[in-house]
Structure 1
Amino acid sequence: MNPYLITGPALISFSGGRTSAFMLHEILKAYDGKLPDDVVVVFANTGKEREETLRFVHECGSRWNVKIHWLEYTADGYDEVGFNSAARLGEPFKALIDKKGYLPNAVTRFCTSELKVRVMKQFCLNLGWTHWTNVIGLRYDEGHRVLKQLAANDARKERWTTSMPMAKAHHTKRGHVLPFWLGENADPINLTHDLPQGFDLGIRDYEGNCDLCMLKSRGALKRLIRDNPGISDWWQEREASITMRSAKATEAGRRFTTEYSYADLEREVAAQPFMPGLLDDENYEFDVECGLHCAPESEAA
C-alpha cells in the first residue's frame, strides 16, 4: 500500500522545509491532487521563520492548489492568519516568553511544544476530533528519531498517532528530497541549472527556517550573524529582558544557550575574521526542518 495514502482524520504538519514539502507533494500525488476533507495541512508560524520560509509555504499552497492553515500562538490559544498577515517580528514567540517568564533552551524546548505542537493540537480539537493521525516528515535516514517516535506511539499518551510516510517509503534527503527540489544544482543560492519544480526554498541547510534557532551550532549562528547584520537583535533583546525583570528565571532560563549569550556571539563576530571551518557540525543538516526533529523530543503537548 502507498504509505502516502493517509487515512483521516489526519493533520499534515508542514514545517516549511524541503522535507515536509516533499512529503506534502507525495501525499497530494497519492490522492491525485485533492486531499480528503478530513486530511488538513497546517503550518505553525513562530514569528521567527525566515521570509524565504513564508514565501515557500505560500508558494507550495498556491502552485499545488492545497489549503494550508497558517496558525500562530496567542496567550489564549491561536489565531489563523495567512501569508500577508503572518507575524514576522517574533510576536508569537515573544508572547510565549513573556507568559513563561523564562527562555527555552536545548533541554526545555517549549518553543516547539507550545508554538507548534500545542497549537496544532488545539486546532484539531476545535475541528471536533478526539483522535487523529499526525503526519510528520521524518525520513528513512533519520532512524533514531523515527524509533523515538514509534516508541511514543506505543506509549499512547497523546490524542494522536504519528505517521511517518517518508520513513516507510525509504525516502532520504540525499536520494530523494534534494534531487526533487534542486536537481543538478549543488547550491540553492547560486543556481547553475533549472529547478525541477520551478521553485525552491532558496536557503542553505545551516540557515534553517528559524532564523537563529538555539539548536544551531555556534559556528552556524556566527556565520548567520556575520552575513545578516541585525539578525541577533531580537534574540539579544529577549535575553536582556529576562535578565532584568524575571525572578522566576534560573540562570539557565536567562539564556537560550547556557554556554554563551547572543550578545557574546555578536561580540565574537565583531572581533574575529571569518573562518572557513565555522560550519563544521554533524547536526547542521537538521536545522532547516524546525519542528520536525524537535517535537518528538520536546515537552509533551
Structure 2
Amino acid sequence: MKLENNKNIFCSVSAGYSSVMMAIMLPVWFPDHKIIYAMANTSKERNESLHFMNECNKHYNLNMTWIEAEFHEKKIGVTPKIVEYKNLKRKGEIFETGIRKFGIPNKENKWCNRDMKLEVLRKYADSIFGKDNYSVAVGLRIDEIDRVRKDYKTNNVFYPLMDYKIDSKERNRFWKNQPIQISIPAYKGNCDMCFAKSNRKLMTILKEEPNMGDWWDKMIKTYGEVPIKGKPSYNELMEQNNGLQTFYRGYRTIEDLVRMAKQPFTRATDEYIYESDLFDLEENCASGCQVF
C-alpha cells in the first residue's frame, strides 16, 4: 500500500508494455511526487528489450538509472552498480558470477531474481530516499490481481495500474498510439531463456532461434555437476538427479527442450493462453521478474 503523506516513489521498470506504461503515467497520476526510475540488467536480457527501454527512457524523459548487480565473497551481500546503457553487460557475465556463488538457479533455487534484481534495486532506492521512506510502484494490471503480494497492505508496495483500472486491453490501446514499439513478441521478452517461462515458450524460442539456448547449455555443462559449499539442499537435489542440476522443470536440459521442440506442438503466441500443464506451467516472474 502506498505510504500516506509520503511523496517519494521508486519505480522499477522491466521493459514490458505494462511496466513502461506505468512509468510514463506516474508523473500524470502523481504530479507532486519525486519519482525515481531504475532497471536492473541481469546480462541475459534480450537486446530488443534493452533497446526498447532505452528508447522509452529518452523519448519520455524518464531519467532512468541502469543498475547491475555486483557479487562479492561470502558474508558480503550483493551491491548495486550504476552503469550507462552503452556499457551494459549482455553476454551473461553477471549471471555466471552468481551461478559460481549460488549454483544453477531453478524453481527450488530462485536466487537470480532476488540478487540480480530485488536486492540491488532495494539498496539503490534506500540510498536515494532512505530506508522505508518511499513507496514502490509495481506494474501489475487489474487483470493480474492474483499476482498481488498477500502482505501489500502492510508494506510500501502499491499497484498504480490497478488503482486506475488498467487491464490488458486498455494498455494495448495506450501503446497503439505511441511512437515506440517492442520489436519482439512478449513471450520472448526479458531474460531470454528464463526457467520460469513455460515449456511452450521455451520450445517456441528454440524452434525460432536455435542458438538462444547455447549460453544456458554451457552453464549446465560447466556448473551443473559442481556442488555448492554451504548449500546442502541444493547438493541433495543434485544427487537425486544423478549428480546434475539444471535450470528447467523436471531437471530438463536445453538438449531435452530441443528434442521436445522437434515434435509437433502449438507454438506460443501473444494472442492465446494455453492450458496444458505439460507445456504452459510457469512462474509469476516469467513475464518479467517481479520485484518487491
Shorter-chain TM range is 0.7 to 0.9
Match of 1:135 in 2: 137
- Pair 1:115-2:108 in alignment: no
Q: Which runs of 5+ in 2 are unaligned?
A: 73-78, 239-243
Aligned partner (choices 207, 212, 223) of residue 188 of structure 2:
207
Residue 153 (structure 1) shift: 2.8
Q: TM-score, normalised by structure 1?
A: 0.79
In structure 2, the partner of 1:291 is 289
Q: Which residue of 2 aligns with 1:266?
A: 258
Deviation string 1:100-138 (CA, Å, 9 cap, x unpaired) is: 1x2221243221111111011111222251212111101
Distance apart, 1:60 and its partner CA: 0.9
The 1:245–1:41 alpha-carbon spacing in structure 2 relative to 1, beyond 3 Å, is: same
Q: How far off is 1:13 after superposition?
A: 1.0
Aligned 8 A contact 1:206 1:285 in 2: no
- Residue identity in the other structure for 1:12: C
Q: Secondary structure at the match of 2:142?
A: coil
> Aligned-pair distance for 1:97?
1.2
Deviation readout 1:18-73 (Å, 9 max, x if unpaired): 110110111133356xx85x420010011111111101111111001121010011
Q: Cα gap change, 1:169/1:126 in structure 2, threshold over 3 Å: closer, same or farther?
A: same
How far has the Cα of 1:203 moved from its partner? 1.6
Q: Give the letter aligned to residue 117 of structure 1.
A: L
Describe the shift of the 1:199–1:128 C-alpha distance in structure 2 as closer, same or farther (beyond 3 A): closer
Partner of 1:79: 81
Aligned to 1:11: 10
Aligned-CA RMSD value:
2.7
- Counterpart selection for 1:229 from 197, 206, 210: 210
Percent of aligned pairs with the same amino acid: 24
The question of whether the paired residues in 1 share the 8 Å contact of 2:204 and 2:267 is answered with no
Residues 255, 273 of structure 1: CA spacing in aligned structure 2 closer, same or farther, 3 A cutoff? closer
User: What's the CA shift for 1:210?
Assistant: 1.3
- The secondary structure found in structure 2 opposite 1:134 is strand
**In the aligned structure 2, how far is the partner of 1:137 from the partner of 1:239?**
32
Counterpart among 234, 240, 257 of residue 248 in structure 2: 257
| Paired position in structure 2 for 1:276 | 266
Question: What amino acid sits opposite 1:257 in the alignment?
Answer: Y
Q: Name the SS for the 2:21 alignment partner.
A: helix
Q: Does 1:169 align with 2:164?
A: yes
Q: Helix, strand or coil for the counterpart of 2:210?
A: coil
Q: Which residue of 1 aligns with 2:75?
A: none
Aligned letter for 2:7?
G
Please give the TM-score of this superposition, normalised by the length of structure 2: 0.81
Query: Aligned pairs, how many?
Result: 264
5+ residue gaps, structure 1, are 184-195, 297-301
Partner secondary structure for residue 120 of structure 1:
helix
Between the aligned partners of 1:164 and 1:213, the Cα distance in structure 2 is 24
Deviations 1:245-275 (A, max 9, x none): 3255433581112411122113444xx2553
Amino acid at match of 1:276: T
Could you say which residue in structure 2 is the equivalent of 1:187? none
Shift in alpha-carbon separation, 1:220–1:11, aligned structure 2, 3 A: same
User: Aligned residue for 2:53?
Assistant: 57
CA contact (8 A) 2:8 2:129 kept: no
Q: Give the Cα–Cα distance (whole angstroms) in 1 for the partners of residues 23 and 268 of structure 2.
A: 33
Q: Secondary structure at the match of 2:80?
A: strand
Partner deviation per Cα, 1:145-165 (whole Å, 9 max, x = no partner):
12xx2x323455xxxx10101
